[in-house]
Structure 1
Amino acid sequence: MWSGDSLLEKLYNEAVKEHHIQSKRELRNERRLKLKAALRDSMGHFEPNHGFVPRLLERVQCEGYVRERVELSATPELTFAAYILVPDGMMGPLPGVLAIHGHGYGSREIVGLLKDGTLDKEKPGIHQHFALQLVKRGMVVIAPDVIGFGERRLRADLALNPDTPSSCYNLSTQLMMLGKTLTGLRVAEALQAFHYLAARPEVDAERIGVMGFSGGGLIGFAASVLESRLQATVLTGFANTVKDSIFAVRHCIDNYTPGLLVHAELPELIGLVAPRPLFLESGEHDPIFPVAGFRKAAAEIKGIYEAEGAGDKLEIDVFPGVHEISGRLSYDWLKRTLSNGI
């Protein structure tokens, strides 16, 4: 076969067969620890920037909440901005949420702003201004700018095309050549945003969750696996199998982590969030994370949760939509789960 199709199929099947062999050979807790370490190693390590002091960039009173923007840093030579949304008139400390956007123009897209920072008065797009939906439910939200989008595109890319949608390609390829990954950098920054949120006086550090959409779901799941203090996780427009999505549909290069499939398929990796609460949401007509793959992944993740004695901690919603956030059940689920009956 000249084309290589059969070779790729053979290699994938061998990898999945090895996953099953290892899962039967190893104790469940032993395998979970090994997979967490493999996920961390596959993404690459970034030196922390311990000496950086967060800086307030702006503070704006909005209808029903205060919006701040702060500058943070997770690794030397690199800073990033994040919006903080704090509900008005709420008795704290309150539940908190790390809200992670997907491909688009950055965190402004989920906090109700246009690219230039002015108020977005139009009908929201696929991100549904979801950070606003969360703060309106009485949670403090942090929405970091994911590197590669909006104001965080590379100067070299903007010089070639001021309208380039992202810098994912150059960031991914150069980091991979240096033994690191764009996912690793994004997760490091997301976790730094979590640490900042947990230290805020308005926030109960024991009641913080994460919600990620699309590429933000990749960041969100990995952050949740690596940070056990994230108490609840919502993944929308992301959960699937590698076979049915990443391999079957042309995705942005930032979805690929070298060597990760040697260790496990995506559902088993997402299942490392167990036994903490997890909500999986997907559009029935999502063209890039197809519903058939979502249902396969959800079924496997459900089996993992049941094996952990946490079957009641997993919720699944397939909504009549495309690649977008719904929130019809997940917003209130997140508030209820983080409120612990309070």
Structure 2
Amino acid sequence: MWNPDGFMEMLYEQSVTARKGLSSRSNSERKALLKERLQSSLGSYEDMRAPLNPILLERIEYEDYIRERIEIGTVIGLRMPIYILIPKTEVRVVQSGQLPGMLALHGHGYGSREVIGLASDGTMLTKKGGHNSFAMELMRQGHIVVAPEMIGLGDRRLLRDTIPGKERSSCISLTGQLLMYGMSLGGLRVFEALRALDYFVTRTEVAADQIGCMGFSGGGTVAAYASALDERIKATVLCAFTNTFKGSILSINHCIDNFVPGVLDYAELPDLIGLIAPRPLFIESGENDPIFPASSLQEAIEILQGIYCQEQAEDMLQYDIFPGVHEVNGREIYPWLRSIWRSGISHYPGNDLNMIEEAKAE
């Protein structure tokens, strides 16, 4: 047969053999090497870091919350708009009077407006989509939320992709062009998400030691890698993303921005997500998600359970597979986050699950 299916399967099997070499290393050595290799694969934008120089673009006060849109610098030549959602009335859950913060990362669609309850034209949404306005729900649950606009989507597309009648995301164009310079779109998105975090921790309302991250679909990709690389993120929620590369990215026609150069030489996707351990991690996915299938999701969860067991932090990994498709559900996410912050759990292994259950009952 002339089809390349067998060749691609052979390459994957060879990568399995290559990855087995890491198993002989100690846990700390393995984690350090995985983190180093992940950063190398994504590419570093550190030498292009630009000052934040935040500029307030708008501030709108509603009955129960305040919404700001702010522009910050990320890398030289790029500015990024971010939304900040601030609840007006909420019982402070930390002694300082500050609130937990959440980095809310959108997936493919029309950008950050989709997570804050706005339509693409900026009017209020009348019908929720797959994102389910999850940043708004995080705010209603008592978080201050930062929702950055990821490059290649929404307001940050190439101009040629905004022409009426020819509108589309810029993921493919940007990925291809960045590859010509030895860069990756995934790496740029992760770097910019962490620049949003750099700004976020300067806000006096935010409890800097209680910052989490929640990402949906492509935003889950960025959330996973950002959380793996930056321990300022104390709790992570991954929606409609967790899987294996083999069961999802390699088996289905995904957007090119999901592909990480050389990654299979050293890690499968659960190995990279496992770098979050022993910090709290919640995984949510629909049992009928067509692009991140439940069958390989279960395989990924089992691998992650083994990683968290090694870290003596089994209770810090929770998941919910709900009856649904590629969407945010949230039925267990928001109670879980409340329990994490109210119990004072951040990244300490071996915490008693009873603490979480007691906090849920409050």
TM bucket by the smaller chain?
over 0.9
Q: In structure 2, what is the Cα distance between the partners aligned to 1:316 and 1:191?
A: 25
Q: In structure 2, what is the Cα distance between the partners aligned to 1:87 and 1:215?
A: 26
- 1:142-194, CA deviations, whole angstroms, 9 ceiling, x for partnerless residues? 000011111111012234x6552300000001111211100011011100111
Q: In structure 1, what is the Cα distance between the partners aligned to 2:205 and 2:122?
A: 25
- Report what 1:42 is aligned to: 41
Q: In structure 2, what is the Cα distance between the partners aligned to 1:339 and 1:200?
A: 21
The Cα shift of 1:51 comes to 3.0
Q: 2:307 aligns with which of 304, 327, 330?
A: 304
- 1:224-274, CA deviations, whole angstroms, 9 ceiling, x for partnerless residues? 011011000000100000111001110011111111111110011110100
Q: In structure 1, what is the Cα distance between the partners aligned to 2:162 and 2:122?
A: 19
Q: 2:231 aligns with which of 225, 228, 236?
A: 228
Q: In structure 2, what is the Cα distance between the partners aligned to 1:313 and 1:171?
A: 36
Q: In structure 2, what is the Cα distance between the partners aligned to 1:317 and 1:163?
A: 38
Question: What is the correspondence of 1:29-178 to structure 2 with a 5 Å cutoff?
Answer: 29-46=28-45, 47-90=47-90, 91=92, 92-120=97-125, 122-159=126-163, 162-178=165-181
Scaled by the length of structure 1, the TM-score of the pair is 0.96
Deviates more, 1:202-211 or 1:5-14: 5-14
Aligned to 1:42, the other structure's residue is in SS state: helix
- 1:68-120, CA deviations, whole angstroms, 9 ceiling, x for partnerless residues? 00001210100010000001034431100000000000000010111111111
Deviates more, 1:57-66 or 1:208-217: 57-66
Q: In structure 2, what is the Cα distance between the partners aligned to 1:58 and 1:335?
A: 29
- Report what 1:217 is aligned to: 220
Aligned to 2:315, the other structure's residue is in SS state: helix
Letter in 1 for 2:136: L
Q: In structure 1, what is the Cα distance between the partners aligned to 2:283 and 2:161?
A: 34
Letter in 1 for 2:100: P
Letter in 2 for 1:36: K
Question: What is the correspondence of 1:199-218 to structure 2 with a 5 Å cutoff?
Answer: 199-218=202-221
Scaled by the length of structure 2, the TM-score of the pair is 0.91
Contact 1:139–1:335 (CA under 8 A) maintained in structure 2: no
The Cα shift of 1:318 comes to 0.3
Backbone CA RMSD of aligned residues: 1.3
In the alignment, structure 1 residue 186 sits paired with structure 2 residue 189: yes
Letter in 2 for 1:39: L
Contact 1:105–1:165 (CA under 8 A) maintained in structure 2: no
Gapped regions of structure 1 (runs ≥ 5): none
Aligned to 1:180, the other structure's residue is in SS state: coil
Question: What is the correspondence of 1:21-36 to structure 2 with a 5 Å cutoff?
Answer: 21-23=21-23, 25-36=24-35
- Report what 2:352 is aligned to: none
Q: In structure 1, what is the Cα distance between the partners aligned to 2:130 and 2:160?
A: 28
The Cα shift of 1:16 comes to 1.2
Q: In structure 2, what is the Cα distance between the partners aligned to 1:30 and 1:124?
A: 44
In the alignment, structure 1 residue 260 sits paired with structure 2 residue 260: no
- Report what 1:324 is aligned to: 327
In structure 2, the CA distance between the partners of 1:97 and 1:167, relative to structure 1 (3 Å rule), is same
The Cα shift of 1:48 comes to 4.1
The Cα shift of 1:321 comes to 0.2
Contact 1:209–1:338 (CA under 8 A) maintained in structure 2: no
Letter in 1 for 2:40: D
Aligned to 1:281, the other structure's residue is in SS state: strand
- Between the aligned residues of both structures, percent identity stands at 49
- 1:25-45, CA deviations, whole angstroms, 9 ceiling, x for partnerless residues? 211110110110111010111
Aligned to 1:156, the other structure's residue is in SS state: helix
Contact 2:162–2:168 (CA under 8 A) maintained in structure 1: no
Aligned to 1:317, the other structure's residue is in SS state: strand
- Report what 2:254 is aligned to: 251
The number of residues matched between the two structures is: 339
Contact 1:104–1:165 (CA under 8 A) maintained in structure 2: no
Aligned to 1:174, the other structure's residue is in SS state: helix
Contact 1:207–1:339 (CA under 8 A) maintained in structure 2: no
Gapped regions of structure 2 (runs ≥ 5): 345-358
Aligned to 2:234, the other structure's residue is in SS state: strand
In the alignment, structure 1 residue 282 sits paired with structure 2 residue 285: yes
The Cα shift of 1:340 comes to 3.2
In structure 2, the CA distance between the partners of 1:316 and 1:116, relative to structure 1 (3 Å rule), is same
